[in-house]
Each structure stands twice: as C-alpha cells, then as structure tokens.
Structure 1
Amino acid sequence: MVFLTLHEMLPLAFNYAGQKQVVKAVFFGMAFMSASLYFLETSLPSDVSL
C-alpha cells in the first residue's frame, strides 16, 4: 500500500494539485494519523494493548 501510494499516487497528485499543496496534505495526514493513534492508545483501558 505504501509503495502504491508513493510510486503511483504521489506523482499524480504533484501534477494535479502542485507540490506545495501536496506536501501540506501529506504533512496534515501524517499528523492526523499520529494524533488519532495517540488518542486511541490513551483512551483504551490499561489492560488492553495495541
């Protein structure tokens, strides 16, 4: 999935939206996923681990 995204979708996004917007979107997406995983881990009971 990562290979498909980096090899096929990222160059297409650069052509379609421009490099500045793509970099912003990738950064926002990674930050959002990181925050959601952090909040998921903190909201789980202590006896459940990921």
Structure 2
Amino acid sequence: MDDNGRGGADPDGQGLRGIADRVAAVRGRFSSERGNTGGTVVRAVLPCGS
C-alpha cells in the first residue's frame, strides 16, 4: 500500500505497531518506509497456511 501524504509515519506508533504485531502473530513479515514521492510504503507478507 502506498499513500500520497507527507510520509514519516512512526513505525513504533500505535497504528503501525498494532499491524506489525498482528502480522508477526501469524509468522508474517512487515515493513514500513518513507516512499520515494512522500507518503509511507507499508508491506505485509503473510503465509498462505498450506
């Protein structure tokens, strides 16, 4: 997901930390970083459970 805001979302803030915790609970991977054009890029990779 990529937004067009000014970026700088706090990866240790409540919102992103909550998402990261939920992704980790199912053994997924989560990252967030400032986008090239501003905004914040959020990635979550979840296992398919097969």
Query: TM-score higher than 0.5 here?
Result: no
Higher-helix-fraction structure: 1
Higher-strand-fraction structure: 2
Point out which structure has higher relative CO (alpha carbons under 8 A, 6+ apart). 2
Per the normalisation by structure 1, the TM-score is: 0.31
Mark the structure with the bigger radius of gyration: 1
Per the normalisation by structure 2, the TM-score is: 0.31
